[in-house]
Amino acid sequence: MTDQANLDQYSLQDPTTQYPKPDDSWKQYQKGAGTEQEQHPKPDAGETTYRGTGRLTGRKAVVTGADSGIGRAAVIAFAREGADVVLSYLPEEEEDAKEVVQLVEQAGRKAVAFPGDLKDESYCEALIQKAVDELGGIDILANVAGKQQTQESIEDITTEQFDETFKTNVYSLFWLCKAAVKQMQPGSTIINTSSIQAYEPSPTLVDYASTKAQINAFSKGLAGQVAPKGIRVNVVAPGPIWTPLQQAGGQPTEALSEFGVQTPLGRPGQPAELAPAYVFLASAESSYVTGETLNVNGGMPTP
């Protein structure tokens, strides 16, 4: 990885060489959800590169997928911008989550770890209540967690996989937004996570791409519905980002040596490069932005 010493998101850098391009050493497979503990090379989630400026001082956030990848980057950024955070993640991702909790506390903010399965409606409801009980409310909901499993043929997609993908990516979104809106005050924000797959679906990601297109439509509809309440709803749509998801069956293992090179910038993105998008949409800087999808994809064209 490019030497990031003394550099942060405000430093002038060449985006084509800011982070490495993949090679054969990236071709690894992780069973299960995947963790940063086992990922090589380790992604940059902003641990040493994100500099906060107080843009979310006093805010109360819930972030799903908070242990690793984009969710991890969002948590780190939110905390360094002044927010307290409830972290949602799977129990088997505890070791990654412990690192994030420590980083939040080092930023001087409160971290509340609350592991569970987003496919469970009762857990989603309890997650929002956890923020109310522990933080005194919720004014930022960042839905980042997702399930992605590559399959060469629709015949290989089992009903179980299809159901798990939709429950993780879409049903949980519905349950969490429904519970959060009841608690949110004017000025609050919801940030959902779509993907370049919503616009350019890969033949091997039929179920995943379908959920991401649904997230765009869901978010635009919800944005119009809750705008009179002073609540904004927006979407971040990442391109190929280097996270544990990719090595845990999100991409064919043999394809990882070329991951992200198709973008105009010629490389995959890093989670840290998504963090400013979530901060912008969470902060009052985006007060006149709602129902929008912010694409962070290395220059891949979208409608």
- The 3-class SS string of the chain reads CCCCCCCCCCCCCCCCCCCCCCCHHHCCCCCCCCCCCCCCCCCCCCCCCCCCCCCCCCCEEEEECCCCHHHHHHHHHHHHCCCEEEEECCHHHHHHHHHHHHHHHHCCCCEEECCCCCCCHHHHHHHHHHHHHHHCCCCEEEECCCCCCCCCCHHHCCHHHHHHHHHHHHHHHHHHHHHHHHHCCCCCEEEEECCHHHCCCCCCCHHHHHHHHHHHHHHHHHHHHHHHHCCEEEEEEECCECCHHHHHHHCCHHHHHHCCCCCCCCCCECHHHCHHHHHHHHCHHHCCCCCCEEEECCCCCCC
pTM greater than 0.85: yes
Fold topology of 29-46+55-296: Rossmann fold (3.40.50)
> Catalytic pick from 89, 123, 208, 278?
208
- Our answer to whether residue 208 is catalytic in this structure is yes
Q: On the CB side of 62, how many CA atoms lie within 13 Å of its CA?
A: 37
Q: Report the candidate in 12, 17, 13, 15 with the shortest Cα–Cα distance to residue 1.
A: 17
Domain limits, the chain: 29-46+55-296
Supply the pLDDT for residue 125. Answer: 98
What tens-digit pLDDT sequence spans the chain (303 residues)?
A: 445 556 899 999 999 999 999 999 999 998 878 888 788 899 999 999 999 999 999 999 999 999 999 999 999 999 999 999 999 999 999 999 999 999 999 999 999 999 999 999 999 999 999 999 999 999 999 999 999 999 999 999 999 999 999 999 999 999 999 999 999 999 999 999 999 999 999 999 999 999 999 999 999 999 999 999 999 999 999 999 999 989 888 999 999 999 999 999 999 999 999 999 999 999 999 999 999 999 999 999 997
Supply the pLDDT for residue 283. Answer: 98
